[in-house]
Amino acid sequence: MCVRFQDHSMLHPPPPPASLTRTFTCTSDGTPQHRSTSMDARHSACLLAGLVFLLHGFTAWAVVEVSMEDRVEVLKGETAQITCMFTSDDGFGALTIQWFYVSKTGEKHSIYYQDATTQMVERSTSFTDRIMVNVTVATREVVLTITDVQIKDQLEFICLVKSLTDGVSEGRTKLLVFERPDSPTIEGVQTGIYVYETTPSKIGSCEVKNGFPKPNITWYRNNAPIQGDSDEVKIMPSTTIESSGLFSVRSELSLKVMKEDKDAQFYCKVTYLVPGGTRMTETNRINITVYYPSTAVNVWVESPKGKIKEGDSIMFHCYGNGNTPSSVYIIKHGEKEYAVESNTLILENVTRLQNGYYECNSMDMETYEELSGNTTVFVHYLEPAVVLPTNIEIAQGEELTATCNALSSLQTHTAWFKNGRLVSFGHTLIVKDVTFDTAGAYTCVVTVPEIDGMEEMETLRVTVKGAPQIMKPEHTDLEESVANTVELTCHVRGFPSPQIIWTTADGKILETTSQNEMEDGVHSMVSMEVTSDLTAFCNASNEYGADALAFNIKAKSNGVIIAVIIICILLLAILGSVLYFLYKKGKICGRSGKQDLTKEKSSKDNIVVEMKSDNTEDAVLLGVNGEKLLRSPQVDIRPTKPSPKTSCSPLTHHSSPSFSSLLVCFSCGVTNSEEEATAVTRQHSETH
């Protein structure tokens, strides 16, 4: 029988919750028998058994039942909770609860025991320090909590509930542990792959590490999964179990490449399990180098763009539509061959002789297949310009005609310039009624409008014959000081080159300082000293005639300077007379060489005068030299003792003083006066 009745008071035990999927019955000997079945089937069987017993009039015995989830999923390192729900009519004190785990060899190991008096975690197990059990009596629920779940904890756990009256029942739950793998990596081959390989070539490898359960790798090409195990595609997976129990998976892809694979993107998708579902991640995308032979060869002129002219450098590019590195390129022009490096050939400073047909030949050294392509080159030219005549001597009033031509492969344009200024267009230069202004150098410039920088130049020199013509300067009437030097310049046009002579009004020939023949004429210069008013003539002549130009020079007098000198002499004479007069009067450097200030009657030259201002109470003392001595309301004039420092060198009446000695004595007298005034001021201060 599948049910053992032990309690006549419990004919109809309450059904377990519908959410649980494991149920339990027991055998007649009391040994628990576990069967994994669905909740609805088990419930229906029990109801059917109850009806049978009711129909036969038997009394049913009550039983203990345990219900558990089929699995519990958790990430590595997190906490797992395994719930055990039971039914029993006995009180909590009559129940015994035990937890077991089943090892990979199938053995049961106890990890927890609890009865009315004891709660005990089994020692010396891997769960000893990581489990905790909570029992809720009201809901008949036992929860096993496992912390820091590890990969090795992926086991089956058993919850056993024993009742004193209802028997024994147990339930089982599998603990599933998950670990997210590291980010996957992809590595492509670094060498190129030939399309004509007969076996699949390695494309690359993908690897994902440290996942649990084992991750799965799928290869993709341009967003389409690649199916392996064929003659065209080989996928070789390999799995490594790390010491931590985690899985590392590697996958290597090999295939026969095609030309289209040169632009293909290869990558891997990694799928792995997590609690409650599946996750996916991708690697970076890689490209591979695919070598494929050419089916055609093209050659063209890369530079210059447009038309080519002589002197240019031509750059040829020669490419096949394949890319095998074993291809060799050669460019032929007539009988001449040029080696092509890096698909490029440069011909420098080309001429019209290099016009023609250029052929590029390509040979694949692996297959020995030869291909060729060609292009045509035309080098345009412009020959040097020819001016006829190159030098012209023409008389004034005549007509000038010259031509300029240059052969070219393109249409040309001709222009004439003089001194950088455009004077005419066209191959022929015509100037009517020429003058000296017509003379000079003309430049003929021939250009090709279709090509920038393609031009040729030639020069025409024109000389106009005629009588001399003096270019009159802005000023011919000059004014200069007497004794100064004046420079006169004469610019004469004419051909043949005129002879220039400088003369004065009286016919005297002047010596020319310098004379230079230039393109615009003859430049002559003369220098002369101004002594008086004069006129100088520049005389020019040649076989066609003569011309002259007069320069009038007015001499300026130095009267002002003479007047200044005379005034200075007069002033010095007056000063000498005054000094001599003072000397005779004894006012400076007396016969004794001293001046005595102790006399009761002092002269007017050694007195001290009191002066008062109308606007102030202060008085100003002045000496003979007029120097301020002291500011005071009132000053007494008193005689002073002679100072031993006021003497000068004595002069006698018999000696006749020179002008310099009079100046010395005059300055000495001033000094004496200053010292005497100072002495008077000091005495006045002591009195007050």
Render pLDDT for 443-464 as a digit per residue (tens, 0 to 9): 999 999 999 989 999 999 999 9
Q: Are residues 70 and 171 in the same domain?
A: yes
Q: What pLDDT, on a 0 to 100 scale, did the predictor assign at position 52?
A: 36
Q: Are residues 428 and 485 in the same domain?
A: no
Question: What pLDDT band is residue 31 in, cutting at 50, 70 and 90?
Answer: very low
**What HEC string does 311-353 produce?**
CCCEEEEEEECCCCCCEEEEEEECCEEEECECCEEEECCCCHH
Of 556, 573, 602, at which residue does a domain stop?
556
Q: What is the pLDDT of residues 351-393, one digit of tens each?
A: 999 999 999 999 888 888 899 999 999 999 999 999 999 999 9
Q: Which residues, at least 6 apart from 181, have a Cβ–Cβ distance to it below 8 Å?
A: 208, 209, 210, 211, 215, 246, 247, 270, 272
Residues 270, 263: contact at Cβ < 8 Å? no
Task: Determine the Cα–Cα distance for residues 651 and 593; give it in Å rounded to an integer.
Answer: 7
Q: Are residues 449 and 502 in the same domain?
A: no
Above 70 in pLDDT, residue 467?
A: yes
Q: What is the pLDDT of residues 155-204, one digit of tens each?
A: 999 999 998 887 899 999 999 999 999 999 999 999 999 998 889 999 99
Instruction: Find, among 581, 561, 560, 579, the residue nearest to 571 by Cα.
Output: 579
> Which of 5-14, 454-463, 521-530 shows the lowest mean pLDDT across its residues?
5-14
Task: Determine the Cα–Cα distance for residues 295 and 319; give it in Å rounded to an integer.
Answer: 11
Task: Determine the Cα–Cα distance for residues 601 and 248; give it in Å rounded to an integer.
Answer: 140
Q: Are residues 197 and 279 in the same domain?
A: yes
Above 90 in pLDDT, residue 35?
A: no
Q: What is the DSSP string of 254-276?
A: EE---GGGGG--EEEEEEEEETT
Instruction: Find, among 687, 589, 582, 607, the residue nearest to 646 by Cα.
Output: 589
Q: Please compute the mean of the pLDDT values over residues 512-540 and round it to a whole number.
A: 89
Identity of the residue numbered 380:
H
- Average per-residue pLDDT in the chain? 80
Task: Determine the Cα–Cα distance for residues 111 and 133; give it in Å rounded to an integer.
Answer: 11
Q: What is the pLDDT of residues 416-446, one digit of tens each?
A: 999 999 999 999 999 999 999 999 999 999 9
As a residue count, the chain comes to: 688
Above 80 in pLDDT, residue 338?
A: yes
Q: Are residues 398 and 500 in the same domain?
A: no
User: What's the Cα-to-Cα distance from 610 to each of 606, 630, 642, 676, rounded to whole Å?
Assistant: 13, 10, 21, 15
Residues 422, 416: contact at Cβ < 8 Å? yes
- Characterize 659-681 residue by residue with b for buried, 16 or more Cβ atoms within 10 angstroms of its Cβ, and e for exposed: eebbeebbebbeebbbebbbbbb
Above 70 in pLDDT, residue 596?
A: no
Q: Is residue 447 part of a domain?
A: yes
Q: Is residue 358 part of a domain?
A: yes
Q: Are residues 187 and 173 in the same domain?
A: no
Identify the residue with better confidence: 69 or 668: 69
Q: What pLDDT, on a 0 to 100 scale, did the predictor assign at position 91?
A: 78
Q: What pLDDT, on a 0 to 100 scale, did the predictor assign at position 388?
A: 95
Count of beta carbons in the 10 Å neighbourhood of residue 454: 21
Q: Which residues, at least 6 apart from 520, have a Cβ–Cβ distance to it below 8 Å?
A: 439, 440, 491, 493
Question: What pLDDT band is residue 76 in, cutting at 50, 70 and 90?
Answer: very high
Q: Are residues 477 and 518 in the same domain?
A: yes
Residue 591, both tokens: 């016969």
Q: Which residues, at least 6 apart from 624, have a Cβ–Cβ distance to it below 8 Å?
A: 605, 606, 607, 670, 673, 677
Of 291, 316, 344, at which residue does a domain stop?
291
Question: What pLDDT band is residue 587 in, cutting at 50, 70 and 90?
Answer: low
Instruction: Find, among 86, 74, 72, the residue nearest to 17 by Cα.
Output: 86
Q: Is residue 452 part of a domain?
A: yes
Q: What is the DSSP string of 380-444?
A: E-BPPPEEESSEEEEETTS-EEEEEE--BSS--EEEEEETTEEEEESSEEEESS--GGG-EEEEE
Task: Determine the Cα–Cα distance for residues 460 and 455; give it in Å rounded to an integer.
Answer: 17
Instruction: Find, among 403, 410, 334, the residue nearest to 374 by Cα.
Output: 334
Of 439, 465, 491, at which residue does a domain stop?
465
Q: Please compute the mean of the pLDDT values over residues 516-529 and round it to a whole number.
A: 88
% of the chain beyond a pLDDT of 90: 57
Q: Is residue 139 part of a domain?
A: yes
Range(s) of the domain holding residue 348 = 304-376
Residue 585, both tokens: 């009067």
> Which of 46-50, 298-302, 444-448, 507-511 shows the lowest mean pLDDT across its residues?
46-50
Q: Are residues 354 and 427 in the same domain?
A: no
Q: Is residue 641 part of a domain?
A: no
Q: Please compute the mean of the pLDDT values over residues 9-22 and round it to a whole number.
A: 35
Question: What pLDDT band is residue 6 in, cutting at 50, 70 and 90?
Answer: very low
Bridge-based pairing state of the strands 386-388 and 95-102 = unpaired
Q: Please compute the mean of the pLDDT values over residues 79-93 and round it to a whole number.
A: 89
Above 60 in pLDDT, residue 329?
A: yes
Q: Are residues 237 and 270 in the same domain?
A: yes
Identify the residue with better confidence: 413 or 595: 413
Identify the residue with better confidence: 659 or 413: 413
Q: What is the pLDDT of residues 540-550, one digit of tens each?
A: 999 989 999 99
Task: Determine the Cα–Cα distance for residues 58 and 536; give it in Å rounded to an integer.
Answer: 170
Q: Backbone phi, then psi, for 512, in 5-degree steps?
A: -75, 130
Instruction: Find, among 360, 370, 372, the residue nearest to 318 by Cα.
Output: 360
Q: Is residue 92 part of a domain?
A: yes
**Range list of β-strands (E), 482-593:** 485-495, 499-504, 509-510, 512-518, 521-529, 534-542, 545-556
> Which of 232-236, 287-291, 583-587, 643-647 shows the lowest mean pLDDT across its residues?
643-647
Residues 360, 374: contact at Cβ < 8 Å? yes
DSSP class of 30: S
Could you give the angle at the alpha carbon of 132 between the alpha carbons of 129 and 137, nearest 5°? 160
Q: Please compute the mean of the pLDDT values over residues 524-529 and round it to a whole number.
A: 91
Above 80 in pLDDT, residue 619?
A: no
Q: Is residue 366 part of a domain?
A: yes
Count CA atoms closer than 13 A to 129's CA, side-chain side. 2
Task: Determine the Cα–Cα distance for residues 100 and 158; give it in Å rounded to an integer.
Answer: 5
Q: What pLDDT, on a 0 to 100 scale, did the predictor assign at position 451?
A: 93
Q: Are residues 172 and 71 in the same domain?
A: yes
Q: Backbone phi, then psi, for 670, in 5-degree steps?
A: -65, -40
Q: Are residues 244 and 141 in the same domain?
A: no
Q: Are residues 287 and 308 in the same domain?
A: no
Task: Determine the Cα–Cα distance for residues 423 and 413; give it in Å rounded to an integer.
Answer: 14
Give the H or E element holding residue 143. Answer: strand 141-146
Q: What is the CATH number of the domain that holds 546?
A: 2.60.40.10
Q: What is the pLDDT of residues 135-146, one digit of tens each?
A: 988 888 999 999
Q: Is residue 399 part of a domain?
A: yes
> Which of 124-133, 310-319, 579-588 shows the lowest mean pLDDT across its residues?
579-588
pTM score of the predicted model: 0.51
Above 70 in pLDDT, residue 60?
A: no
Domain count, the chain: 5
Above 90 in pLDDT, residue 73?
A: yes
**What HEC string does 149-194 produce?**
CCHHHCCEEEEEEEECCCEEEEEEEEEEEEECCCCCEEEECCCCEE
Above 90 in pLDDT, residue 507?
A: no
